Amino acid sequence: MFVSRNIVRMHDTDMAGIIFFAKQFRWAHDALEDWMYQEDLGFHSLFTGEEFAFVIVHCEADYLAPVQVGDPLEVRLHIAKVGKHSFTVQYDILRAGKELIGRCKTVHCTINPRTRAKLPLPDAFREKLLRYLRED
């Protein structure tokens, strides 16, 4: 499991504590980027047209509790599934590391950035994914 920390900002929610739906995905994606940087996965190469790229082919979110501006958030990332061409990331979003306020899931597929054809996951990347695998 990888843990990323964030805070609920004014632009994330209204005064009733209702999250704008896209914000939960932003917190999840920020955690994914933090994890990729920590694991030295060459995140920058995904945007320079090199050997492969990852595209999101599915995403979903569950909103479980309201939040308030200033709430500290902890996003716990783990890999839920590793396939031949794709991997699934599960994100648990907790207030102050205690109360589960939301969950996200994203499915990423490996493609050739020039042809857009799917590719097998690179072996070195697959190995790093497997270190964070937690099947529920």
DSSP secondary structure letters along 9-20: -GGGB-TT-PBP
Please confirm, yes or no, whether 14 is among the known catalytic residues. Answer: yes
- Max mean pLDDT range (10-19, 35-44, 50-59): 50-59
pTM: 0.88
Delimit the domains of the chain by residue range: 2-131
How far is the C-alpha of 100 from the C-alpha of 123, rounded, in Å? 33
DSSP state string for 47-58? GTT-S-EEEEEE
17 has a pLDDT exceeding 80: no
CA-based nearest residue to 133, from 87, 83, 80: 80
Marked catalytic residue, from 12, 14, 40, 71: 14
CATH architecture under which domain 2-131 falls: Roll (3.10)
Q: What is the pLDDT of residues 62-118, one digit of tens each?
A: 999 988 889 999 999 999 999 999 999 999 999 999 999 999 999 999 998 889 999
pLDDT of residue 45: 56
